[in-house]
Amino acid sequence: MPRPFKPRRVSSMPQFTYFKPTGIPMPLLDEVVLTVDEVEALRLKDLEKLEQHECAARMNIAQSTLQRILVSAREKVSRALIEGKALRIHGGPFALEGEPVCPRRYRRGRGHQVADPAGEESSESSSDEQSD
């Protein structure tokens, strides 16, 4: 069994969660999804100008994990800007600062309902299907 995701500490939810190029109708746009923890990493590193070890400490993650998050986030933002895609901020393994963390909440699989990027719920396990 894979190790469960460890939630990354986030100070607050982003105020704005969707960005799109002007003049292009929504149905014609491809979408890039940026997770809440990726936004937090960008905020701490690029806006607050903290060192990586300080950002990692605030998010309660290893510095190497922060580096991977930053690389992923910057690639997604660049792809959205350069290729004219919509950017949606949604999901990810995070916990708000001061919020109690329950590790079971972040487990995946075993038939738990998980929303896919299209917003539809799907079961990750076929063992939960009931036969008639």
The residue ranges of every structural domain in the chain are 35-97
Q: What is the pLDDT of residue 89?
A: 97
Query: How far apart are alpha carbons 111 and 126 in whole angstroms?
Result: 7
Give the pLDDT confidence of 69-80 residue by residue, as tens digits: 999 999 999 999
pLDDT mean over 83-88: 97
Give the pLDDT confidence of 32-60 residue by residue, as tens digits: 999 999 999 999 999 999 999 999 999 99
Q: For the range 99-104, what are the long-range contacts, defined as Cβ-Cβ under 8 Å and sequence gap of 24 or more? A: 101/7, 103/4
Q: Residue 101 pLDDT more than 70?
A: no
Q: How far is CA 31 from CA 44, 69, 72, 85, in A?
A: 24, 19, 15, 6
Nearest-CA neighbor of 84 among 38, 25, 40, 15?
25
Length of the chain: 132
